[in-house]
Structure formats: structure tokens, C-alpha cells
Amino acid sequence: MSNSTYLLRVSFDADQLGNQLVWAIVDGEPDQPNAFQRTGWAAGGLQFAQGDTLGFEVVGYGNPTTFAGFAITDATLITLPAPYVRPLFSPSPFDCDQATFDLDDFNPTSCVVAQNLKICSAHSPEILTVVEPAGIWKFSFVVTVQITRMDGGVETRVFSFDPMIAVGKDWP
């Protein structure tokens, strides 16, 4: 079985009231399975296999008459091992030895206008590899953005989401 490549795409609207990111996992290849689980014990979460890779993209939407674009000032991944399952798991399923990981080098945003929306996206050059063979983690992504308005105003906003990650196929 070959490893899969995924892209985590998170998005926000510059005018939304809440701080919840909309998120999706995009398959690297059309014939690969999707990591998002719609049914079964991991429903609503992500399920990876050891060796899978994950990239990151942030997309901002807005009214083209008011939204000029955004810049990412901080982006952090947080992985919290499941405390109720034995054996205890490492701090992260990815190739880092801590529970937090900073994605600091997002490429500058590019913007297009389509369907009466301004759509701006920023990509991270970081690609994380799943190194753990099995485990369960709460997975959070927190991003701070500076939203630039067409009138020159700048707003700082924080957005986040937090699904579950499972690695391996033999759970629970």
C-alpha cells in the first residue's frame, strides 16, 4: 500500500462574525482515499497511515469592494494525545517531537475575483509526514491573519478548528 499525500485547506470569510475555520482535506491524487472519515468510529475526524504527508493552505474570502487581502502573522498546529487510550502516544503523529508546531513561512497570498467574491490563498512550504504507526490525537490549527481592507484599514483576526486525528486502521 503506497502512502497518500493530502492538503489541509482552511478558509475564512473576512466579514464572518465567528472564529471557526471551514476546513477540508484535499487528496493529492484523484484515486487516493480521503483522510476525512464520514462514517465509523472516526467519523468527523481524519485518519492517516504512517508515511502519509500533509500540506497546508489558508484561503480568505471577501467582498471585492471591501476586502483587499490578508497576511498570515502566526499559524500553529497543536496535537494533544488522547489521554484515555493506552498505551500513551507521542506528542504528535507528525515528524516533530512536540505538541505544537509553527508554520511560519506561508508564501505570500495571491488573489482572484470569481463569483462576486475576492478569493485569496496562501500556501505553506511545510509538508509534514506522519511518522507514528498508530494513535489518536486532538488536532487544532490556529491562524492569526491581518485582513487588509480596500480603504487601507487593517484588522487582526484569529481563526481555528479542532478535529480528531487517528493513525492506523485498527482502532478502537
Residues 39-51: what's their mean pLDDT? 81
Residue 85 in domain: yes
Confidence of residue 166 (pLDDT cuts 50, 70, 90): confident
Min mean pLDDT across 15-19, 41-45, 145-149 is at 41-45
**pLDDT for residue 98:** 93
Integer Cα distance of 130 and 99 in angstroms:
14
% of the chain exceeding 90 in pLDDT: 63
Confidence of residue 29 (pLDDT cuts 50, 70, 90): low
Q: Is the pLDDT of residue 1 over 60?
A: no
**pLDDT for residue 170:** 62
pTM summary value: 0.90
Q: Is the pLDDT of residue 80 over 70?
A: yes
Integer Cα distance of 121 and 95 in angstroms:
25
Is the alpha carbon torsion for 60, 80, 126, 52 positive or negative? negative
**pLDDT for residue 2:** 73
Which helix (H) or strand (E) segment is 137 a member of? strand 135-149
Residue 172 in domain: no
Residue 49 in domain: yes
Integer Cα distance of 127 and 71 in angstroms:
20
Please check whether residue 83 is in contact with residue 35, taking contact to mean a CB–CB distance below 8 angstroms: no
Count of domains forming the chain = 1
Integer Cα distance of 35 and 149 in angstroms:
35
**pLDDT for residue 164:** 86
What is the domain range of residue 15?
5-167
